Structure 1
Amino acid sequence: MSRELRLRIISAVLLAIPVLLITWVGGIWFRGLSALLGLLIYYEFSTITDLATREPAERIVGWVTVALAAVLVVIAWPAYALAAVVIGALIAALPAWRNRTAPWAAVAIVYSGLFAIALAGLRGVGIYGLYAMLFIIAIVWATDILAYFCGRAIGGRKLAPSISPGKTWSGAIFGTVAGVGAGLAVALTLRQGGGFSVPIIALVLSIASQCGDLFESWVKRRFKVKDSSRLIPGHGGVMDRVDGLVFAAFAAFILAVALPPLTSGQASGELAARLLGN
């Protein structure tokens, strides 16, 4: 085992323990974690895209917006947090639209702010939120780990060589299978859901996770950056560690909102109950 891989594994384990503990506890602790992740991601995204030079005024708008959204997430006012993100992103995007340039500040606001809102909203305060987060985390981690190791071991045709030359179709396929399997294992262990809904949702989240990975790789390659930061030894930055979770959380939140509340568990107000068919 190489030194880099060993450092990567140690860092992942040391991070996983407190993250899983906070996920278990939920409440204001998890909302605080979600808000912190949103702020760190905005910092890294704005650094990668060099907003301090390219869009200095819009960068400040972004900081104010994401900070406000983070506070609103912590105090459990998600609707106001969402409104803040939408308004802030529109304000930040106006100069780019006028100048016909890419609205990177607006993208940074949406990417970081919506992630914090989605993550906190999915966890909620009840048991279904805990189950849903374990379900999502298992899918993302299994997808990421198997895609990495199987891609390196098997190789083959490149998935997106212009974006991420190291990723292969074999890794993507095995990662997807592993993600669906992990989601099913969690659902069965927790005795949640039934029928075809769980594997289909697991499939969607696994694919979304890999799309999130590719999106971050595309942004970094566009700006010629290797890592989003150096906050996490062996992994780079927070974005490098949660890029898949960001898109998986987006997809899970959209599915949870779109799926109809059919049972008492969902009627009680737990958004995440819909993901597991409860």
Structure 2
Amino acid sequence: MKPAKAGDLKARVLSALVLAPVVLGAVWIGGWVFHALLAFGSVIAVSEWTNIVPSARRLPSRLMAAIGILVALMAHIAAGPATALGAAAAFAVLTAIVGGGSDRGLLGFGVFYVAIGMAGLMWLRDLPDTGLSLFMFVLIAIWATDIGAYAAGRSIGGPKLAPRISPKKTWAGLIGGMVSSALFGWLVAIAFGAARPDIAVVVGAIVAVVGQAGDLFESAVKRRYNVKDSGQLIPGHGGILDRIDGLLAAAPVLALFHAAVGTGLSWW
């Protein structure tokens, strides 16, 4: 693995210092401020997807996908996640039809893919009383996964996790990410007074695996079309999709766990 260039590292750090307070501030405030940030990020993310996956009519497909995400967002606010995903599915089909091309199915799937992640993130943050803490749990768990995987992968190395998809990822990195996510998930649970921090350790490790799967999924799509980054919006980091691929996968899984099992376990 090649070391990061000094200029790239500086750009990454500066971008993080600028964006982190904005994101965390919107998450902390919640409500329409958070919804606006989520809408902005979702539209850019789905636009990047339509830029990665080729189509016969790129601009019309991009407009349809962006409209679909906004409609799904409004449907979520008005009627909940099930209605939002139904709207996203309909616009996924419309985007595929409008965009055309040999990979129209994958093109349209991007609308549903981003909408699932958006629904998970919005559902978590909008929960009364526990919304902020659960959102911070998944956010910090994914950040910890990336840091732990990077550190373990560089220092330990070893067998590759998925060499054809992401040659730099290793099994040691995955384990390091799981340990880091479990540790920070436990700390977040303690900080917010969760009832069962021990369960948060297990959930944190699972979130790491799901987040890495989301990362690998986006990597596989980019590799299929020989694309390095989903976009250039964030200096040193690439596009929005490159930064939230893990969250898009992990947020709905955590939301499903909390709704179906977590409430019964009284873990939070």
**TM-score where L is the length of structure 2:** 0.88
Cα distance between partner residues in 1 of 2:153 and 2:24 = 27
Q: How many percent of aligned residue pairs carry the same amino acid?
A: 35
The verdict on how the C-alpha distance between 1:27 and 1:177 changes in structure 2, with shifts beyond 3 A counting, is same
Partner of 1:10: 14
Counterpart residue type for residue 83 of structure 1: G
Give yes or no for contact 1:150–1:171 (8 Å, CA) kept in 2: yes
Q: What is the aligned residue count?
A: 264
Deviations 1:131-179 (CA, angstroms, capped at 9, x unpaired): 0011111100010012112212222111111001111111111111001
Partner of 1:82: 85
Q: CA RMSD in A?
A: 2.6
Counterpart residue type for residue 137 of structure 2: F
User: Aligned runs of 1:155-234 on 2, under 5 Å?
Assistant: 155-194=157-196, 196-234=198-236
User: Aligned runs of 1:1-278 on 2, under 5 Å?
Assistant: 2-51=6-55, 53=56, 59-73=62-76, 78-92=81-95, 103-124=105-126, 126-194=128-196, 196-259=198-261, 261-262=263-264, 277-278=267-268
Query: 1:197: Cα distance to partner?
Result: 2.6
> What secondary structure does 1:50 align onto?
coil
- Shifted more, 134-143 versus 151-160: the winner is 151-160
Cα distance between partner residues in 1 of 2:209 and 2:245 = 13
- Shifted more, 223-232 versus 5-14: the winner is 5-14
Counterpart residue type for residue 9 of structure 1: V
Give yes or no for contact 1:82–1:114 (8 Å, CA) kept in 2: yes
Counterpart residue type for residue 157 of structure 1: P
Cα distance between partner residues in 1 of 2:168 and 2:147 = 14
Partner of 1:267: none
Counterpart residue type for residue 45 of structure 2: I
Cα distance between partner residues in 2 of 1:165 and 1:54 = 32
Deviations 1:38-81 (CA, angstroms, capped at 9, x unpaired): 11110000101123x36776555433322312333466754432
The verdict on how the C-alpha distance between 1:95 and 1:54 changes in structure 2, with shifts beyond 3 A counting, is closer
Give yes or no for contact 1:144–1:175 (8 Å, CA) kept in 2: yes
Give yes or no for contact 2:75–2:87 (8 Å, CA) kept in 1: no
Counterpart residue type for residue 21 of structure 2: I
Counterpart residue type for residue 90 of structure 2: I
Cα distance between partner residues in 1 of 2:127 and 2:257 = 19
Query: 1:33: Cα distance to partner?
Result: 1.4
Structure 2: gaps of 5 or more residues? none
Give yes or no for contact 1:73–1:116 (8 Å, CA) kept in 2: no
**TM-score where L is the length of structure 1:** 0.85
> What secondary structure does 1:22 align onto?
helix
Deviations 1:197-223 (CA, angstroms, capped at 9, x unpaired): 322221211111111111111111001
The verdict on how the C-alpha distance between 1:76 and 1:17 changes in structure 2, with shifts beyond 3 A counting, is farther
Cα distance between partner residues in 2 of 1:211 and 1:250 = 13
Cα distance between partner residues in 2 of 1:112 and 1:40 = 10
Cα distance between partner residues in 2 of 1:237 and 1:82 = 24
Cα distance between partner residues in 2 of 1:118 and 1:3 = 35
Deviations 1:114-135 (CA, angstroms, capped at 9, x unpaired): 2222211110053300000111
